[in-house]
Protein backbone atom coordinates (compact mmCIF):
# COMPACT_ATOMS: atom_id res chain seq x y z
CA UNK A 1 0.00 0.00 0.00
CA UNK A 2 1.18 3.49 -0.86
CA UNK A 3 0.02 4.84 2.52
CA UNK A 4 2.36 2.37 4.20
CA UNK A 5 5.32 3.54 2.12
CA UNK A 6 4.61 7.20 2.83
CA UNK A 7 4.26 6.43 6.53
CA UNK A 8 7.73 4.82 6.49
CA UNK A 9 9.21 7.83 4.69
CA UNK A 10 7.66 10.25 7.17
CA UNK A 11 8.27 8.42 10.41
CA UNK A 12 11.33 6.30 9.58
CA UNK A 13 9.64 3.09 10.69
CA UNK A 14 6.83 0.74 9.65
CA UNK A 15 3.28 1.65 10.76
CA UNK A 16 1.94 -0.27 13.76
CA UNK A 17 -0.97 -1.39 11.63
CA UNK A 18 -3.06 -0.54 8.56
CA UNK A 19 -6.83 -0.20 9.07
CA UNK A 20 -9.26 -0.74 6.20
CA UNK A 21 -12.90 0.19 5.73
CA UNK A 22 -14.61 -0.77 2.44
CA UNK A 23 -16.79 1.45 0.26
CA UNK A 24 -20.30 0.35 -0.63
CA UNK A 25 -22.62 0.20 -3.57
CA UNK A 26 -26.39 0.39 -3.16
CA UNK A 27 -28.14 -1.24 -6.12
CA UNK A 28 -31.67 -0.57 -4.83
CA UNK A 29 -33.10 1.66 -2.12
CA UNK A 30 -31.69 4.99 -3.29
CA UNK A 31 -32.57 7.97 -1.10
CA UNK A 32 -35.06 6.16 1.03
CA UNK A 33 -32.87 5.40 4.04
CA UNK A 34 -33.45 8.87 5.48
CA UNK A 35 -37.22 8.29 5.06
CA UNK A 36 -36.81 5.08 7.10
CA UNK A 37 -37.35 2.84 4.10
CA UNK A 38 -35.76 -0.52 3.27
CA UNK A 39 -32.43 -0.56 1.43
CA UNK A 40 -30.05 -2.96 -0.29
CA UNK A 41 -26.27 -2.74 -0.24
CA UNK A 42 -22.97 -4.53 -0.77
CA UNK A 43 -19.51 -3.64 0.54
CA UNK A 44 -16.80 -3.71 -2.13
CA UNK A 45 -13.10 -4.53 -2.17
CA UNK A 46 -12.05 -0.86 -2.48
CA UNK A 47 -12.04 1.63 0.33
CA UNK A 48 -10.05 3.68 2.80
CA UNK A 49 -6.75 2.49 4.27
CA UNK A 50 -5.09 4.23 7.21
CA UNK A 51 -1.46 3.36 7.99
CA UNK A 52 -0.90 4.51 11.56
CA UNK A 53 1.16 4.50 14.72
CA UNK A 54 0.07 5.67 18.16
CA UNK A 55 1.00 9.04 19.67
CA UNK A 56 0.92 9.12 23.45
CA UNK A 57 0.78 12.93 23.36
CA UNK A 58 -2.85 12.64 22.16
CA UNK A 59 -2.05 14.47 18.93
CA UNK A 60 -3.55 13.24 15.69
CA UNK A 61 -1.24 14.13 12.84
CA UNK A 62 -2.89 13.17 9.55
CA UNK A 63 -2.02 13.21 5.91
CA UNK A 64 -4.23 12.16 3.05
CA UNK A 65 -2.94 10.93 -0.27
CA UNK A 66 -6.07 12.42 -1.87
CA UNK A 67 -5.77 15.97 -0.48
CA UNK A 68 -2.79 18.26 -0.05
CA UNK A 69 -3.12 19.90 3.38
CA UNK A 70 -1.82 18.11 6.49
CA UNK A 71 -4.17 18.14 9.52
CA UNK A 72 -3.34 18.18 13.20
CA UNK A 73 -5.56 18.23 16.28
CA UNK A 74 -5.61 16.92 19.83
CA UNK A 75 -7.86 13.90 20.20
CA UNK A 76 -9.51 15.32 23.31
CA UNK A 77 -9.85 18.89 22.07
CA UNK A 78 -11.87 18.94 18.88
CA UNK A 79 -13.13 22.34 17.63
CA UNK A 80 -16.88 22.72 18.25
CA UNK A 81 -17.49 23.76 14.64
CA UNK A 82 -16.12 21.98 11.58
CA UNK A 83 -13.02 23.57 10.11
CA UNK A 84 -14.01 23.10 6.46
CA UNK A 85 -11.30 20.76 5.21
CA UNK A 86 -11.09 17.02 4.43
CA UNK A 87 -10.05 16.17 8.00
CA UNK A 88 -13.45 17.23 9.39
CA UNK A 89 -14.55 13.63 8.94
CA UNK A 90 -11.74 12.53 11.27
CA UNK A 91 -12.45 15.33 13.77
CA UNK A 92 -16.11 14.32 13.67
CA UNK A 93 -15.23 10.69 14.44
CA UNK A 94 -12.95 11.71 17.33
CA UNK A 95 -15.59 14.04 18.74
CA UNK A 96 -18.34 11.43 18.75
CA UNK A 97 -16.11 8.72 20.19
CA UNK A 98 -14.74 11.16 22.79
CA UNK A 99 -18.27 11.94 24.01
CA UNK A 100 -18.65 8.28 25.00
CA UNK A 101 -15.14 7.21 26.02
CA UNK A 102 -12.09 9.01 27.41
CA UNK A 103 -9.57 9.44 24.57
CA UNK A 104 -5.92 9.91 25.51
CA UNK A 105 -3.96 8.47 22.62
CA UNK A 106 -3.72 10.06 19.20
CA UNK A 107 -2.11 8.77 16.02
CA UNK A 108 0.25 9.69 13.26
CA UNK A 109 -1.56 8.44 10.19
CA UNK A 110 -1.52 8.39 6.41
CA UNK A 111 -4.94 7.97 4.76
CA UNK A 112 -5.41 6.54 1.29
CA UNK A 113 -8.68 6.26 -0.60
CA UNK A 114 -8.86 3.94 -3.58
CA UNK A 115 -10.74 5.35 -6.61
CA UNK A 116 -11.87 8.98 -6.97
CA UNK A 117 -14.31 10.47 -4.45
CA UNK A 118 -18.05 10.49 -5.04
CA UNK A 119 -20.80 7.91 -4.91
CA UNK A 120 -19.10 5.06 -3.10
CA UNK A 121 -19.44 6.58 0.33
CA UNK A 122 -15.87 7.47 1.11
CA UNK A 123 -17.15 9.88 3.81
CA UNK A 124 -18.64 7.12 5.93
CA UNK A 125 -15.66 4.94 5.14
CA UNK A 126 -13.07 7.43 6.39
CA UNK A 127 -15.12 8.09 9.53
CA UNK A 128 -15.45 4.37 10.27
CA UNK A 129 -11.79 3.61 9.53
CA UNK A 130 -10.74 6.47 11.81
CA UNK A 131 -13.16 5.40 14.57
CA UNK A 132 -11.74 1.89 14.46
CA UNK A 133 -8.16 3.21 14.65
CA UNK A 134 -8.89 5.52 17.59
CA UNK A 135 -10.74 2.72 19.37
CA UNK A 136 -7.79 0.37 18.84
CA UNK A 137 -5.12 2.74 20.20
CA UNK A 138 -7.31 3.78 23.13
CA UNK A 139 -8.21 0.22 24.12
CA UNK A 140 -11.93 0.58 23.34
CA UNK A 141 -13.93 -2.33 21.98
CA UNK A 142 -16.71 -1.17 19.69
CA UNK A 143 -19.75 -3.22 18.70
CA UNK A 144 -20.96 -3.07 15.07
CA UNK A 145 -24.15 -1.08 15.75
CA UNK A 146 -22.28 1.31 17.99
CA UNK A 147 -19.93 2.06 15.09
CA UNK A 148 -22.85 2.59 12.70
CA UNK A 149 -24.56 5.02 15.07
CA UNK A 150 -21.41 6.94 15.99
CA UNK A 151 -20.40 7.27 12.34
CA UNK A 152 -23.84 8.47 11.29
CA UNK A 153 -23.96 10.96 14.16
CA UNK A 154 -20.52 12.25 13.14
CA UNK A 155 -21.74 12.94 9.63
CA UNK A 156 -25.13 14.37 10.69
CA UNK A 157 -24.03 16.54 13.57
CA UNK A 158 -20.47 17.57 12.77
CA UNK A 159 -19.98 17.36 9.01
CA UNK A 160 -23.53 18.65 8.51
CA UNK A 161 -25.00 16.11 6.08
CA UNK A 162 -28.37 14.64 7.09
CA UNK A 163 -27.52 11.24 5.63
CA UNK A 164 -29.42 8.11 6.59
CA UNK A 165 -27.71 4.94 7.77
CA UNK A 166 -27.29 3.11 4.46
CA UNK A 167 -23.58 3.76 3.99
CA UNK A 168 -22.45 3.02 7.52
CA UNK A 169 -24.57 -0.14 7.74
CA UNK A 170 -23.19 -1.58 4.50
CA UNK A 171 -19.63 -0.78 5.44
CA UNK A 172 -19.98 -2.49 8.81
CA UNK A 173 -22.52 -5.31 8.37
CA UNK A 174 -21.97 -6.60 4.83
CA UNK A 175 -20.43 -9.96 4.05
CA UNK A 176 -18.88 -11.06 0.77
CA UNK A 177 -21.51 -12.17 -1.77
CA UNK A 178 -24.35 -11.45 0.64
CA UNK A 179 -26.75 -8.61 0.02
CA UNK A 180 -27.59 -6.47 3.03
CA UNK A 181 -31.33 -5.85 3.25
CA UNK A 182 -31.85 -3.31 6.03
CA UNK A 183 -35.08 -1.87 7.37
CA UNK A 184 -34.06 1.63 8.44
CA UNK A 185 -37.17 1.98 10.62
CA UNK A 186 -36.27 -0.68 13.18
CA UNK A 187 -32.72 -1.69 12.15
CA UNK A 188 -33.74 -5.28 11.47
CA UNK A 189 -31.69 -6.72 8.63
CA UNK A 190 -30.81 -9.85 6.76
CA UNK A 191 -27.80 -10.84 4.67
CA UNK A 192 -29.12 -12.64 1.61
CA UNK A 193 -26.61 -15.02 0.00
CA UNK A 194 -26.16 -14.94 -3.76
CA UNK A 195 -26.81 -18.27 -5.44
CA UNK A 196 -27.09 -17.26 -9.09
CA UNK A 197 -24.47 -17.02 -11.83
CA UNK A 198 -21.33 -14.91 -11.16
CA UNK A 199 -21.48 -11.15 -11.70
CA UNK A 200 -18.98 -8.32 -11.56
CA UNK A 201 -19.46 -4.90 -9.96
CA UNK A 202 -18.35 -2.08 -12.22
CA UNK A 203 -18.03 1.57 -11.23
CA UNK A 204 -17.81 4.39 -13.73
CA UNK A 205 -16.60 7.77 -12.48
CA UNK A 206 -18.06 10.73 -14.29
CA UNK A 207 -14.89 12.71 -13.67
CA UNK A 208 -16.79 15.05 -11.35
CA UNK A 209 -15.93 14.56 -7.72
CA UNK A 210 -18.50 15.53 -5.18
CA UNK A 211 -19.12 16.03 -1.55
CA UNK A 212 -22.65 15.93 -0.23
CA UNK A 213 -22.15 19.01 1.91
CA UNK A 214 -23.22 21.74 -0.49
CA UNK A 215 -25.33 19.49 -2.77
CA UNK A 216 -29.14 19.35 -2.93
CA UNK A 217 -29.05 16.24 -0.70
CA UNK A 218 -30.50 17.99 2.37
CA UNK A 219 -33.03 19.91 0.27
CA UNK A 220 -34.42 16.70 -1.26
CA UNK A 221 -34.82 15.31 2.21
CA UNK A 222 -36.82 18.39 3.26
CA UNK A 223 -39.04 17.90 0.21
CA UNK A 224 -39.70 14.30 1.28
CA UNK A 225 -40.59 15.49 4.77
CA UNK A 226 -42.88 18.17 3.34
CA UNK A 227 -44.64 15.51 1.24
CA UNK A 228 -45.07 13.30 4.30
CA UNK A 229 -46.39 16.17 6.41
CA UNK A 230 -48.85 17.31 3.75
CA UNK A 231 -50.15 13.79 3.14
CA UNK A 232 -50.73 13.23 6.85
CA UNK A 233 -52.60 16.53 7.09
CA UNK A 234 -54.69 16.04 3.91
CA UNK A 235 -55.83 12.65 5.12
CA UNK A 236 -56.69 13.93 8.60
CA UNK A 237 -54.04 11.82 10.32
CA UNK A 238 -52.28 13.07 13.39
CA UNK A 239 -48.73 14.19 12.91
CA UNK A 240 -45.88 15.24 15.17
CA UNK A 241 -42.89 17.50 14.70
CA UNK A 242 -41.96 18.46 11.15
CA UNK A 243 -38.36 17.50 11.83
CA UNK A 244 -39.51 13.95 12.52
CA UNK A 245 -41.86 13.56 9.53
CA UNK A 246 -40.87 10.69 7.20
CA UNK A 247 -42.57 9.06 4.23
CA UNK A 248 -42.40 5.60 5.82
CA UNK A 249 -45.13 6.72 8.23
CA UNK A 250 -47.49 7.46 5.33
CA UNK A 251 -49.51 4.46 4.12
CA UNK A 252 -49.25 3.87 0.37
CA UNK A 253 -53.07 4.23 -0.01
CA UNK A 254 -52.89 7.69 1.52
CA UNK A 255 -50.34 8.71 -1.09
CA UNK A 256 -52.46 7.26 -3.90
CA UNK A 257 -55.55 9.07 -2.69
CA UNK A 258 -54.03 12.48 -1.95
CA UNK A 259 -51.02 12.80 -4.25
CA UNK A 260 -52.93 15.06 -6.65
CA UNK A 261 -52.92 17.80 -4.03
CA UNK A 262 -49.18 17.81 -3.50
CA UNK A 263 -47.02 20.43 -5.20
CA UNK A 264 -45.26 18.70 -8.10
CA UNK A 265 -41.75 18.46 -6.59
CA UNK A 266 -43.11 16.94 -3.37
CA UNK A 267 -45.28 14.50 -5.32
CA UNK A 268 -42.32 13.34 -7.38
CA UNK A 269 -40.13 12.76 -4.31
CA UNK A 270 -42.91 10.71 -2.71
CA UNK A 271 -43.47 8.83 -5.98
CA UNK A 272 -39.79 7.87 -5.87
CA UNK A 273 -40.08 6.69 -2.27
CA UNK A 274 -43.11 4.46 -2.81
CA UNK A 275 -41.90 3.00 -6.09
CA UNK A 276 -38.42 2.38 -4.69
CA UNK A 277 -39.88 0.55 -1.68
CA UNK A 278 -41.68 -1.72 -4.12
CA UNK A 279 -38.50 -2.30 -6.15
CA UNK A 280 -36.63 -3.25 -2.98
CA UNK A 281 -39.39 -5.67 -2.00
CA UNK A 282 -39.35 -7.32 -5.42
CA UNK A 283 -35.57 -7.14 -5.62
CA UNK A 284 -35.19 -9.18 -2.42
CA UNK A 285 -37.22 -11.94 -4.05
CA UNK A 286 -35.19 -11.87 -7.28
CA UNK A 287 -31.93 -11.82 -5.35
CA UNK A 288 -33.03 -14.84 -3.32
CA UNK A 289 -33.93 -16.62 -6.56
CA UNK A 290 -30.54 -15.74 -8.11
CA UNK A 291 -32.28 -13.90 -10.96
CA UNK A 292 -29.71 -11.40 -12.17
CA UNK A 293 -31.72 -10.28 -15.21
CA UNK A 294 -34.77 -9.30 -13.15
CA UNK A 295 -32.73 -7.80 -10.33
CA UNK A 296 -30.76 -5.80 -12.89
CA UNK A 297 -33.91 -4.56 -14.58
CA UNK A 298 -35.04 -3.12 -11.25
CA UNK A 299 -31.71 -1.31 -10.86
CA UNK A 300 -32.25 0.38 -14.23
CA UNK A 301 -35.79 1.34 -13.19
CA UNK A 302 -34.52 2.72 -9.92
CA UNK A 303 -32.06 4.83 -11.92
CA UNK A 304 -34.88 6.18 -14.03
CA UNK A 305 -36.87 7.16 -10.97
CA UNK A 306 -33.81 8.94 -9.57
CA UNK A 307 -33.58 11.00 -12.75
CA UNK A 308 -37.29 11.75 -13.26
CA UNK A 309 -38.81 11.68 -9.77
CA UNK A 310 -36.01 12.34 -7.33
CA UNK A 311 -34.34 14.67 -9.82
CA UNK A 312 -30.77 14.12 -8.80
CA UNK A 313 -27.88 13.66 -11.18
CA UNK A 314 -26.20 16.14 -13.50
CA UNK A 315 -25.91 16.04 -17.31
CA UNK A 316 -22.71 13.94 -17.18
CA UNK A 317 -24.12 11.35 -14.78
CA UNK A 318 -27.43 11.14 -16.66
CA UNK A 319 -25.54 10.52 -19.91
CA UNK A 320 -23.47 7.84 -18.21
CA UNK A 321 -26.64 6.16 -16.98
CA UNK A 322 -28.06 6.30 -20.53
CA UNK A 323 -24.90 4.63 -21.89
CA UNK A 324 -25.15 1.85 -19.30
CA UNK A 325 -28.71 1.12 -20.41
CA UNK A 326 -27.55 0.58 -23.97
CA UNK A 327 -24.37 -1.41 -23.34
CA UNK A 328 -24.64 -5.19 -23.85
CA UNK A 329 -23.51 -7.31 -20.91
CA UNK A 330 -24.78 -4.89 -18.24
CA UNK A 331 -27.61 -6.40 -16.15
CA UNK A 332 -28.48 -3.16 -14.40
CA UNK A 333 -26.92 0.14 -13.44
CA UNK A 334 -27.75 3.50 -11.86
CA UNK A 335 -26.18 6.44 -10.06
CA UNK A 336 -24.22 5.16 -7.14
CA UNK A 337 -25.07 6.75 -3.80
CA UNK A 338 -26.58 10.21 -3.71
CA UNK A 339 -25.91 10.72 -7.40
CA UNK A 340 -25.50 14.45 -7.65
CA UNK A 341 -22.02 14.00 -9.09
CA UNK A 342 -19.62 11.09 -8.59
CA UNK A 343 -20.19 7.74 -10.27
CA UNK A 344 -22.58 5.11 -11.61
CA UNK A 345 -22.45 1.47 -10.60
CA UNK A 346 -23.52 -1.59 -12.54
CA UNK A 347 -23.80 -5.34 -12.16
CA UNK A 348 -22.09 -6.82 -15.20
CA UNK A 349 -21.30 -10.09 -16.93
CA UNK A 350 -17.77 -10.78 -15.63
CA UNK A 351 -16.79 -12.43 -18.92
CA UNK A 352 -17.48 -9.17 -20.77
CA UNK A 353 -16.13 -6.72 -18.19
CA UNK A 354 -13.17 -5.43 -20.25
CA UNK A 355 -15.33 -4.94 -23.31
CA UNK A 356 -17.95 -3.11 -21.22
CA UNK A 357 -15.40 -0.80 -19.57
CA UNK A 358 -13.93 0.08 -22.97
CA UNK A 359 -17.32 0.66 -24.64
CA UNK A 360 -18.65 2.89 -21.85
CA UNK A 361 -15.46 4.92 -21.75
CA UNK A 362 -15.47 5.50 -25.52
CA UNK A 363 -19.03 6.68 -25.60
CA UNK A 364 -18.79 8.82 -22.50
CA UNK A 365 -15.63 10.57 -23.63
CA UNK A 366 -17.16 11.16 -27.05
CA UNK A 367 -19.85 13.19 -25.23
CA UNK A 368 -17.49 14.85 -22.73
CA UNK A 369 -13.97 14.93 -24.24
CA UNK A 370 -12.88 17.49 -21.63
CA UNK A 371 -13.22 14.80 -18.96
CA UNK A 372 -10.49 12.58 -20.45
CA UNK A 373 -7.98 11.84 -17.70
CA UNK A 374 -10.62 12.47 -15.03
CA UNK A 375 -13.12 9.79 -16.07
CA UNK A 376 -12.32 6.32 -14.73
CA UNK A 377 -13.94 2.90 -14.96
CA UNK A 378 -13.07 0.03 -12.61
CA UNK A 379 -14.13 -3.52 -11.93
CA UNK A 380 -14.62 -4.41 -8.25
CA UNK A 381 -16.00 -7.31 -6.25
CA UNK A 382 -18.19 -7.77 -3.21
CA UNK A 383 -16.35 -7.92 0.12
CA UNK A 384 -16.76 -8.11 3.89
CA UNK A 385 -17.53 -5.02 5.96
CA UNK A 386 -14.91 -3.40 8.21
CA UNK A 387 -13.12 -5.63 10.67
CA UNK A 388 -13.17 -3.98 14.02
CA UNK A 389 -9.97 -4.15 16.05
CA UNK A 390 -10.35 -6.09 19.26
CA UNK A 391 -12.63 -8.67 17.68
CA UNK A 392 -16.37 -8.38 17.71
CA UNK A 393 -17.27 -12.01 17.30
CA UNK A 394 -18.48 -11.60 13.71
C1 LIG B 1 -25.67 9.04 0.36
C2 LIG B 1 -26.11 9.07 1.82
C3 LIG B 1 -26.95 7.83 2.17
C4 LIG B 1 -28.07 7.61 1.16
C5 LIG B 1 -27.54 7.70 -0.25
C6 LIG B 1 -28.63 7.66 -1.28
O7 LIG B 1 -24.77 8.01 0.15
O8 LIG B 1 -24.99 9.17 2.66
O9 LIG B 1 -27.44 7.95 3.49
O10 LIG B 1 -29.13 8.49 1.38
O11 LIG B 1 -26.80 8.88 -0.48
O12 LIG B 1 -29.28 6.44 -1.26
CATH of the domain at 298: 3.30.70.890
pLDDT at residue 215, as a whole number: 80
Does residue 364 share a domain with residue 291? yes
Residues with Cβ < 8 Å from 295, sequence gap 6 or more? Answer: 27, 283, 286, 287, 331, 332, 347
DSSP secondary structure letters along 302-353: HHHHHHHTS----HHHHHHHHHHHHSTTEEEEEE-TT-SSSEEEEEE-GGGH
pLDDT at residue 12, as a whole number: 98
Distance from the alpha carbon of residue 34 to the mean position of ligand 1, in angstroms: 8
- Total structural domains in the chain? 2
pLDDT at residue 115, as a whole number: 83
What CA–CA distance (Å, rounded) separates 108 from 140?
18
Does residue 310 share a domain with residue 165? no
Q: Which atom of ligand 1 is nearest to the CA of 217?
A: 11
Does residue 262 share a domain with residue 324? yes
Phi-psi region of 29 (alpha: psi -120 to 50; beta: other; left: phi over 0): left
**Within a domain: 391:** no
Phi-psi region of 339 (alpha: psi -120 to 50; beta: other; left: phi over 0): left
Q: Which atom of ligand 1 is nearest to the CA of 155?
A: 8
Give, using CA atoms, the residue closest to atom 4 of ligand 1. Answer: 31
Ligand 1 pocket at CB < 6 A: 26, 30-31, 33-34, 121, 163-164, 166-167, 337-338
Does residue 109 share a domain with residue 77? yes
Does residue 41 share a domain with residue 130? yes
Does residue 206 share a domain with residue 189? no
Of 193, 226, 246, the domain-final residue: 193
**Within a domain: 207:** yes
Give SS3 for 75: coil
**Within a domain: 385:** no
Q: Which atom of ligand 1 is nearest to the CA of 123?
A: 8
Of 193, 219, 254, the domain-final residue: 193
Distance from the alpha carbon of residue 210 to the mean position of ligand 1, in angstroms: 13
Residue range of the domain that includes 285: 200-380
Distance from the alpha carbon of residue 146 to the mean position of ligand 1, in angstroms: 19
Nearest Cα to Cα of residue 347 among 379, 320, 377: 379
**Within a domain: 362:** yes
Which residues of the chain fall below pLDDT 70?
Answer: 211-213, 389-394
Give, using CA atoms, the residue closest to atom 8 of ligand 1. Answer: 163
Active-site residues: which are they? Answer: 167
Distance from the alpha carbon of residue 148 to the mean position of ligand 1, in angstroms: 14
CATH of the domain at 74: 3.30.230.10
pLDDT at residue 339, as a whole number: 87
Q: Which atom of ligand 1 is nearest to the CA of 124?
A: 8
Does residue 130 share a domain with residue 234? no
Give SS3 for 188: coil
What CA–CA distance (Å, rounded) separates 208 from 327?
22
**Within a domain: 33:** yes
Does residue 182 share a domain with residue 205? no
Give, using CA atoms, the residue closest to atom 11 of ligand 1. Answer: 338
Does residue 334 share a domain with residue 274? yes
Does residue 241 share a domain with residue 146? no
Q: Which atom of ligand 1 is nearest to the CA of 161?
A: 8
Give SS3 for 165: coil
Radius of gyration of the chain (CA): 21
Phi-psi region of 49 (alpha: psi -120 to 50; beta: other; left: phi over 0): beta
Q: In testing the pocket of ligand 1, which one of 23, 34, 121, 166 has its CB within 8 Å of the most ligand atoms?
A: 166
Give, using CA atoms, the residue closest to atom 2 of ligand 1. Answer: 163
**Within a domain: 389:** no
Residues with Cβ < 8 Å from 322, sequence gap 6 or more? Answer: none
Distance from the alpha carbon of residue 32 to the mean position of ligand 1, in angstroms: 8
Of 193, 221, 249, the domain-final residue: 193
Long-range contact set of residues 329-332: C-beta below 8 Å, sequence gap at least 24: 329/353, 329/355, 329/356, 330/202, 330/296, 330/356, 331/199, 331/292, 331/293, 331/295, 331/296, 331/297, 331/299, 332/27, 332/295, 332/296, 332/297, 332/298, 332/299, 332/300
Q: In testing the pocket of ligand 1, which one of 167, 168, 299 has its CB within 8 Å of the most ligand atoms?
A: 167
User: Beta strand pairing status for 343-348 and 106-113?
Assistant: unpaired
Give, using CA atoms, the residue closest to atom 1 of ligand 1. Answer: 338
Distance from the alpha carbon of residue 310 to the mean position of ligand 1, in angstroms: 13
pLDDT in tens, 204-244: 999 998 766 678 899 999 999 999 999 999 999 999 999 99
**Within a domain: 188:** yes
Does residue 227 share a domain with residue 186? no
> For 276, phi and psi rounded to 5 degrees?
-70, -35
Q: In testing the pocket of ligand 1, which one of 89, 121, 154, 272 has its CB within 8 Å of the most ligand atoms?
A: 121
Does residue 298 share a domain with residue 149? no
Axis crossing angle, helix 353-367 with helix 315-326, rounded to the nearest 10:
140
**Within a domain: 393:** no
Distance from the alpha carbon of residue 357 to the mean position of ligand 1, in angstroms: 25
Amino acid sequence: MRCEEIYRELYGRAPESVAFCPYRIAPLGAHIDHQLGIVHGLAINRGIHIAYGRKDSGICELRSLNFSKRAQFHVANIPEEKVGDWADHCRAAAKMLGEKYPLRTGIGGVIEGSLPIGGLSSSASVIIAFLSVLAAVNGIRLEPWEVIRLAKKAENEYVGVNCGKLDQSCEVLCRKDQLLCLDCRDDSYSLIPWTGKPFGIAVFFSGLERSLAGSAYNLRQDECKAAAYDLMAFSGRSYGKFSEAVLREVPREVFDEWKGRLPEPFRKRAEHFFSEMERVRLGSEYWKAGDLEQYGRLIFESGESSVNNYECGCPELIRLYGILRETPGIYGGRFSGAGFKGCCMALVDPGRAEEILAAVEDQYLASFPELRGKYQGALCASDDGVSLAGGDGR
